[in-house]
Amino acid sequence: MPLFNVYPLYNVTPVSAKGAYVYDENNTEYLDLYGGHAVISIGHAHPRYVEAITNQVSKLGFYSNAIQNPLQVELANKLEALSGCKDYELFLCNSGAEANENALKLASFQTNKSRVIAFKNGFHGRTSAAVAATDNKAIIAPINAQQKVTILDLNDLEAVKTELEKGDVCAVIVEFIQGVGGLDQATANFFEQVDLLCKANNTLFIADEVQSGYGRSGKFFAFQYYNVTPDIISIAKGMGNGFPIGGILIHPNIKAKFGMLGTTFGGNHLACAAGLAVLNVIEDEFLIDNVKVISEYFIKIAETIPQIKQIKGKGLMIGLEFDFEVSELRKKLIYDHHIFTGGASNKKLLRILPPLNINKGHINQFFEALVEALDE
């Protein structure tokens, strides 16, 4: 049976990986500055992660959400401690789209309203309401288009105010650092005023931290650079270091009711073991401090390269903008220099999303290759 052909593929076949490196079937080593779309947080095949998952699957890999699962409680407590998000409650699911889908659904339950405000170049996933809130017509099918979503410009505070005052908006959903769109960020004033406008208009403020969360921005969550209190925070990618797990942190103002949300696989034992190993490593290896140090080092070098016209993002969620489209450069980096990087909807932007425990040597390796590739 052929595979449904929806992914344009690079001609590379990874078969193993360790830390910041991926190896193909000929044992060629690739430096991974993309982490499989920002997923690899603690590095490939981290020994504590491998051990935690191996131990758990040999005991109990899965049981449904109809029984006590102390691993979920342990994960929630650890997440509260590391994120500093006190008193929020956790609902676990399996992916970023699912996290946002549940966030939007909860906002609609809570406010009894149904229109969503989202932003230009935003990406929130490919399911029903999440894709409708995504600014990409090519991936919105007619069945998704029936959702009520208004897409506004980032930083257009007046437009947000006008829309919220109409009284029918259940949620404003935003990435504090845009991922797929190309690392753009609104101003602090915009984020903080939108937060206040949401609170004044019985609208929930959803922080989509699926990509920017879990330390990638240099803080546990990117919204923590601002004075805002999101009602719901969605998480996924870095949370499982490759094991499918997602979730939403829910403000205590929102009260749970039996049956309101649910999932078969979400929060299963194996996923929790993976999620706990990730948090333990982030804490014990001071990975958020490492993000800040390496980010500064990276940006300092990037600033010396004349072809780089703009450096976007925060922490280890970095965009390098050129005055040409980067698809050929990415090919050179992967095929000639054996380095994975990412692209974005902004075709002139190279996305850098390495594991959070990357070191200065890896960054030097990248810039040596980049300079050579740019000179070729």
Residues that bind ligand PLP (CB under 6 A): 37, 95-97, 100, 123-125, 175, 179-180, 208, 210-211, 236
CA 308 to chain centre: 24
Task: Report, in Å, the least distance between residue 121 CB and ligand PLP.
Answer: 11
CA distances from 92 to 72, 108, 125, 245, 281 (A): 8, 19, 16, 7, 20
Nearer to ligand PLP, 96 or 313 (CB): 96
Give the span between the Cα atoms of 124 and 308, in whole angstroms.
Answer: 28
* Phi-psi label, residue 121: left if phi above 0, alpha if psi -120 to 50, beta otherwise: left
Radius of gyration of the chain (CA): 20
- Please report how many Cα atoms fall inside a 13 Å half-sphere around the Cα of residue 131, on the Cβ side: 13
Residue located via tokens 């894709």: 131
Task: Report, in Å, the least distance between residue 208 CB and ligand PLP.
Answer: 5
Query: 321 has which bridge partners?
Result: 310, 349
Task: Report, in Å, the least distance between residue 291 CB and ligand PLP.
Answer: 18
* CA angle 34–185–168, rounded 5-degree value: 115
Give the tokens for residue 130. Answer: 């999440």
Nearer to ligand PLP, 100 or 102 (CB): 100
Hey, what amino acid is at 341? T
Task: Report, in Å, the least distance between residue 116 CB and ligand PLP.
Answer: 14
Task: Report, in Å, the least distance between residue 367 CB and ligand PLP.
Answer: 26
CA dihedral 9, 11, 15, 18 (to 10 degrees): -90
Nearer to ligand PLP, 71 or 97 (CB): 97
Nearer to ligand PLP, 107 or 369 (CB): 107
Give the span between the Cα atoms of 49 and 192, in whole angstroms.
Answer: 37
Residue located via tokens 């989509």: 208
Residue located via tokens 């070191």: 359
Give the end-to-end CA distance of the chain in Å, rounded to a whole number: 41
Nearer to ligand PLP, 267 or 369 (CB): 267
Task: Report, in Å, the least distance between residue 126 CB and ligand PLP.
Answer: 6
Give the tokens for residue 226. Answer: 């601002």
Nearer to ligand PLP, 117 or 363 (CB): 117
Task: Report, in Å, the least distance between residue 345 CB and ligand PLP.
Answer: 11
Nearer to ligand PLP, 261 or 370 (CB): 261
Task: Report, in Å, the least distance between residue 179 CB and ligand PLP.
Answer: 4
Give the span between the Cα atoms of 120 and 174, in whole angstroms.
Answer: 10
Q: Which residue is nearest to ligand PLP (CB)?
A: 96
CA distances from 152 to 116, 121, 211 (A): 11, 10, 21
Nearer to ligand PLP, 228 or 369 (CB): 228
Task: Report, in Å, the least distance between residue 125 CB and ligand PLP.
Answer: 4
Nearer to ligand PLP, 201 or 319 (CB): 319
